[in-house]
Amino acid sequence: MKDMERSKTQLLMKDTSFMTIDQIRSNCRREMNAGLRVLVVEDDFTSRVLLQSLLLEFGTVHIAVDGVEAIQAFCEARQSGQPYDLICMDVRMPEMNGMDALEQIRMIEAQGGVSPSAAVKIFMTTAVRDLKTVSASFKALCDAYLPKPLDTAKLISEMHQHGLIA
């Protein structure tokens, strides 16, 4: 009986340190989703850091501070053969706003023959909650709209709903 308990305990051990069930689940999720490539497009430093820290669990996270950098990063990732799986993009930013960047990304995909089902998932984030902005985001073909302050459970739910995580 003690040997069986010892065996169970050893399954929960990693490098001789005890792991909780939540840590095991987190490690499993991380291993299953380790290949996720994410681009966070956000001009606000605090929002960038928050999104990056939330999404690092699921894979590689790159940062852009405006729509111009977003389009550049998107194109470079496609050309390198490692396209992004998810782009989280703020609506209002300097240089080029998120709506314009979203439209250009969708145009680049269409010109490249990318089908809507194979297109990068784009979640728009913003503190703006008016119906006009939400409607415009979906008309420009975003996949989800996440109001700020960001609800982590909603982000994870949207990622799951769009097949980005198990």
Please say if the pLDDT value at position 33 is more than 60: no
CB 68 within 8 A of CB 104: no
Of 14-23, 51-60, 98-107, 131-140, the range with the lowest mean pLDDT is 14-23
pLDDT of residue 3: 46
Q: Which residue has the higher pLDDT, 72 or 17?
A: 72
Q: From CA 65, how far away is CA 120, in angstroms rounded?
A: 19
Q: Where do the domains of the chain lie, and which CATH numbers do they carry?
A: 35-161 (3.40.50.2300)
Q: From CA 114, how far away is CA 87, in angstroms rounded?
A: 16
Under the banding of pLDDT at 50, 70 and 90, the label for residue 34 is low
Within 13 Å, how many C-alpha atoms sit on residue 27's CB side?
A: 9
Q: Looking at residues 74-90, what average pLDDT do you find?
A: 96
pLDDT of residue 129: 67
Mean pLDDT of the residues in the chain: 82
Please say if the pLDDT value at position 16 is more than 50: no
Under the banding of pLDDT at 50, 70 and 90, the label for residue 20 is low
Q: From CA 108, how far away is CA 74, in angstroms rounded?
A: 10
Counting DSSP H helices and E strands in the chain, the numbers are 7, 7
pLDDT tens sequence across 84-134:
999 999 999 999 999 999 999 999 999 999 998 899 999 999 887 666 766
Please say if the pLDDT value at position 6 is more than 50: no
pLDDT of residue 35: 85
